[in-house]
Amino acid sequence: MSELTSSLSKKCLMANMTWKEVESTLSKSKTVIIPFGSTEEHGYHLPLSTDYFVAYELAKLIGSKIQVLVAPPICYGVCRRGTFFPGTITISIDTLRSLTVDIITSLYSQGFRNIIVLPGHLGSAQIIGLELACQELLKKYEKLKISLIDLTKFLEKIPEGLIEEKFGHAGEVETSLMLALDPEIVKMTDATSEKPVFPAHQIVRDSRKFMKSGVMGNAKIASIEKGTTILDLFVNEISKVILGIGED
């Protein structure tokens, strides 16, 4: 756990609470953040836990800021291009959809009504699986509210000139976020810059034929300062979204 969020553990994390403490919190707020990530390659310099680590640490900061609960993170997701790299563990879209439906159904049965789905893994298949689950749940429960957070939307609000690339994988943005959250687990001496080109229109069987490190972008230009600014932006903007939804 990073030093930045370690002091927040007892304030908003369901995993550290007793059931009585959760019940007491429910009487005040019916909102909960669920961090979704993956166990996936992130180049030579970032750990396999990057996606769920960022999502969970970000959720802790938001939970502490606006006093909402944070559920334990989902550490597995739908990974496609990274699946041929050792250590990457992928699940199917159907598994992700079913898992999401089951988790939110369980929380709903306990009295939670405002669910914030916070993905740290932003692969298109992952987002599709989450969205399908959310749509299914909304049809089933009239009193349920679900927000599926899209971190890429907030990148458009980053101050001009702060970062050179707003999209990628294990590149400038992700590496900067990891540096801001826990620099000790980032191996910047091994950071690389790679911009693989995949064949147009073709479904690739093995992505490692087109990429060496697993990085899509330039991790070398990442910094703690950039990560701190991006992190603050994410916390503030997502907090606004959650507070704007309100509770019935």
pLDDT, tens digit (0-9, with 9 covering 90-100), for 148-181: 999 999 988 998 999 999 889 999 999 999 999 9
- Distances in whole angstroms, Cα of residue 19 to Cα of each of 14, 24, 56, 122, 216: 9, 9, 21, 32, 43
- Please state the domain count of the chain: 1
Q: What is the dihedral of CA 11, 32, 122, 142, to 10 degrees?
A: 180
pLDDT of residue 166: 83
pLDDT of residue 1: 44
- Give CA–CA dist 213/239, Å, rounded: 35
pLDDT of residue 200: 92
Q: Which domain, by its residues, includes 226?
A: 3-243
pLDDT digits (tens, 9 = 90+) for 70-81: 999 999 999 988
* Other beta carbons less than 10 A from residue 211's beta carbon: 22
- Please report where in the chains the tokens 């999209």 appear, as a residue: 167
Q: Which residues contact 167 (CB under 8 A, 6 or more apart)?
A: 152, 155, 173, 217
Residue type, 229: T
* 38 pLDDT above the threshold of 90: yes
- Residue 55 within a domain: yes
Mean pLDDT of the chain, nearest integer? 94
Give the 3-state secondary structure of residue 36: strand
Q: How many CA atoms lie less than 13 Å away from 187 in the CB half-sphere?
A: 9
Q: What is the DSSP string of 126-173?
A: HHHHHHHHHHHHHHH-TT-EEEE--HHHHHTTSPTTS-S-SS-BSSHH
Helix (H) / strand (E) containing 31: strand 31-36
pLDDT of residue 27: 92
- Residue 213 within a domain: yes
- Give CA–CA dist 200/70, Å, rounded: 40
pLDDT of residue 245: 86
pLDDT of residue 205: 87
pLDDT digits (tens, 9 = 90+) for 214-243: 999 999 999 999 999 999 999 999 999 999
pTM of the model: 0.94
Q: Could you tell me which of 66, 129, 49 has the C-alpha nearest to residue 96?
A: 129
- Residue 43 within a domain: yes
pLDDT digits (tens, 9 = 90+) for 74-110: 999 999 888 899 999 999 999 999 999 999 999 999 9
- Residue 24 within a domain: yes
* Other beta carbons less than 10 A from residue 184's beta carbon: 8
Q: What average pLDDT does range 178-203 have in this prediction?
A: 96
Helix (H) / strand (E) containing 118: strand 114-119
- Give CA–CA dist 50/128, Å, rounded: 20
Q: How many CA atoms lie less than 13 Å away from 133 in the CB half-sphere?
A: 25
- The CATH number of the domain where 176 resides is what? 3.40.50.10310
pLDDT band at 56 (very low <50, low <70, confident <90, very high): very high
- Residue 52 within a domain: yes
- Residue 167 within a domain: yes
* 206 pLDDT above the threshold of 50: yes
- Residue 248 within a domain: no
- 8 A C-beta contact, residue 95 and residue 103: no
